[in-house]
Amino acid sequence: MDFITHDEDIWFDFRGDSADQLTSGRYYQGVVDGFADFGVFINLASGVTGLLHRSELDRRLESLDWETGDEVFVQVQNVRSNGNIDLGWSIRQSPEEFRGSQIHDPSGEVDGEEPSVETESTAPIKRTPQDPSAKTVGADETSGSESESGGGATGTVQTAAIDAESTEESSNSVSEPSEPSIEPTEVTRTHIETLSEHVGERVSIEAEIESIRQTGGPTIFQVQDESGHVECAAFVEAGVRAYSEVNEGDYISITGEIERRQGDIQIEVEELTQLDGSAAAAVETRLSDALSEEARPEEIDRIHPDSPVSISDTRIADAAEIIRSAVLESRPVVIRHPATADGYVAGAGLERAIIEMIRDEHDRADAEYHFLKRRPLDDPVYGMDAATNDITRMLQDTERHDEKVPVIVLAGIGGTSDSLDGLELLNIYDAMTVLLEADTIDSEVRGATDALVAPEPGEDTTAVSTAALAVTLAININTRISDEIEHLPAVSYWGDTPAVYESLASSTGYDASRTQQLREAIELEAYYQSYQDKRELITDLLFNDDGGLAEHVSEQFRIKLTEEVNTATASLNTQTMANVTVNTLDANAYTHRFDFPPTPLLAEAVHREIRNEQTITVVYSTDELFIHGSPSIDVRSVATSADKEVPEAGITAVGVRQNRIEFLSGAQDEAVDAVISAAVNEL
């Protein structure tokens, strides 16, 4: 059956000498004549030049990769009375993406003929499916971006779309010709990493579809096997989706010819088959094993041999493998941490390592924002509220942007049984979790995460911060950033900083005074808009600051904290119980609870100000209190004892790193007394 063509289906070779001889609506081949701030000048014939205004482009003019002298395709939109020609953008930028070509000769001598060498046209002759020896222009040989052209296919076309029983379409479409018979030749399955050795040959690969992109010409399948990634171009009809039965994530077998497009390898698809059953399972296993081998660290690095972090190599390797695998397979990573100095420093250390790896793996300028999200949390408990928020965002991103289910990293939150419901909600949606916790973890939580970076039960955790754990994990995610983050652990301690961390920070130019300024500045900035990551600001403070920014912010921190501490200490209620000095403060009455500093920080600062060998400081409000002791006390043990004493008060330890205990507001007096009594008995 003959092709039915229309002006919008073909391109024209203009042989006239006047703008008024052009036909609006037609696509013409032209030559780039020059550039201006407002667009591109295109010569359609000698003395006939039109303007492709920048507003007609599908991208920024600065990103257009045309050069003067390039042959391009444009649409004539309008010829004005003064002879000016308004041109429009053509998504098709190679002859093969049109259904044909004709000469537009106003003189009538060769009008309607197909351009050829004899007619002195430089335009290539259109390939038809009956000409299997012809090749299309690939993605990198066209003048458009990869969003509009991705390479052609060989003369063979998608069998499912073109067969001998083609039926007549409507007047606006083109009937497909019968596919030519192709003599089958034996091909051997190979790996993507070896394709460069087979340019010009027919090969077969088994792979997983990573992404599918429809261009104005072929359909581009980005696929991966256990050895690498490659683009495959399948052509059925210009702008029409090839192999519509397959989707991202499917395992497939592809047979085609290997082409090199300006240095990049591409497969011109002849046949694509979806795998199932044992065949699909075999490909999945090979990919999984290869990913694990690439993602898992061969050796575990320590920030210093004498670091107080004693987490096993296996635990660190497990966590690093999960996060590295996520980056390698384009899976988002979400970092959750408390809105404290320790939390922000921990999150920033992990962020630094992961971002550098994302930049290495992805060309997109916005990839680091697309594949890494850091979300601070006011509450040190990863409860249903936080988990529901993450699941909702995950489902929206999956629906709108085809994102994969993310890996959730919980740094300094989620270690108590209060977070169990939130963790189980993530498990329902198959979101993998990595938990970093510097304190003792409840036994129920240990089995609810995919990787756990935490001290073993019974270990001394007093010298370990969340940031120290995060930095240990970060250097095993990306060893190249070790020197950049060595100072971070020292920033996370408010007191009793391990000497090894002070020495590391000092060796990189961060002495004790500077790390203190950073700690104070981060804590102040963490308080304001605590739910925001403030990525650029935190990065400036921790990595790009010469001292001026941190000094300015830390000065504000000290002024605000000193004023509140002075007010609080003047309002303390002090008594002696069993040779223990007990100081209590009603935060509702004697603090500005909704201004800086937050109650947890104020309670710790007040205790540091007044502590001696036998001191307990309790700062309480409506339904919670913060307790500190010298020597230190076990908040869990105190809460358990107090709950047995006053079971109706609902006393429980929540947010152990903050020394926080919650109770029912109606039993405030009884709860506070019971907690103080239990703490005195422990000392």
Q: Is residue 631 part of a domain?
A: yes
pLDDT digits (tens, 9 = 90+) for 153-181: 333 333 333 333 333 333 333 333 344 44
Residues 533 and 628 in one domain: no
CATH number at residue 271: 2.40.50.140
DSSP bridge pairs for 675? none
Task: Please tell me the least confidently modeled range out of 304-308, 547-551, 574-578.
Answer: 304-308
Residue in the block written with tokens 């024209």? 12
Residues 146 and 121 in one domain: no
Both tokens assigned to 478: 């990306």
Residue in the block written with tokens 């029912």? 664
Residue in the block written with tokens 């060989």? 154
Confidence of residue 356 (pLDDT cuts 50, 70, 90): very high
Percent of the chain with pLDDT over 70: 88
Residues 117 and 142 in one domain: no
Q: What helix, strand, coil percent values describe the chain, rounded to 5?
A: 35, 20, 40
The pLDDT, as a whole number, for residue 363 is 65
CATH number at residue 667: 3.10.310.20
Residues 535 and 591 in one domain: no
Segments forming the whole domain that contains residue 257 = 128-292
pLDDT digits (tens, 9 = 90+) for 440-454: 788 888 889 999 998
The pLDDT, as a whole number, for residue 162 is 30
Q: Is residue 429 part of a domain?
A: yes
Confidence of residue 469 (pLDDT cuts 50, 70, 90): very high
Q: State mean pLDDT over 285-305.
A: 89
Instruction: Calculate the alpha carbon distances from 296 to 166, 193, 300, 319, 320 in Å.
Output: 52, 20, 10, 9, 7
Residues 163 and 15 in one domain: no
Q: Which of 527, 510, 514, 513 is nearest to 561 (CA)?
A: 527
Higher pLDDT, 585 or 83: 585
Q: Is residue 307 part of a domain?
A: no
> What is the amino acid identity at position 503?
S
Residues 221 and 317 in one domain: no
Q: Is residue 579 part of a domain?
A: yes
pLDDT digits (tens, 9 = 90+) for 57-74: 877 777 788 888 899 999
Given 126, 151, 166, which residue is the final one in a domain? Answer: 126
The pLDDT, as a whole number, for residue 458 is 76
Given 82, 109, 126, which residue is the final one in a domain? Answer: 126
- Residues 446 and 209: their CA atoms lie apart, in Å, by 35
Q: Which of 198, 316, 184 is nearest to 257 (CA)?
A: 198
Residues 335 and 484 in one domain: yes
Residues 177 and 216 in one domain: yes
Q: Is residue 1 part of a domain?
A: no
Q: Is residue 390 part of a domain?
A: yes
- Residues 34 and 51: their CA atoms lie apart, in Å, by 10
- Residues 435 and 238: their CA atoms lie apart, in Å, by 49
Q: Which of 655, 620, 654, 653 is nearest to 637 (CA)?
A: 653
Domain count, the chain: 4
Q: Is residue 40 part of a domain?
A: yes
Residues 182 and 100 in one domain: no
Confidence of residue 350 (pLDDT cuts 50, 70, 90): very high
Both tokens assigned to 314: 């296996």
Residue in the block written with tokens 């408390």? 338
Q: Is residue 83 part of a domain?
A: yes
- Residues 406 and 3: their CA atoms lie apart, in Å, by 48
- Residues 272 and 234: their CA atoms lie apart, in Å, by 9
**CB-based burial of residue 555 (10 Å sphere; 0-12 exposed, 13-18 middle, 19+ buried)?**
middle
Residues 471 and 453 in one domain: yes
DSSP bridge pairs for 585? 619
Residue in the block written with tokens 């397979």? 329
Both tokens assigned to 153: 């296919």
Q: Which of 218, 243, 200 is nearest to 141 (CA)?
A: 218
Higher pLDDT, 569 or 263: 569
Given 103, 126, 149, which residue is the final one in a domain? Answer: 126
Residues 331 and 475 in one domain: yes
Residues 99 and 219 in one domain: no
Q: State mean pLDDT over 41-60.
A: 86
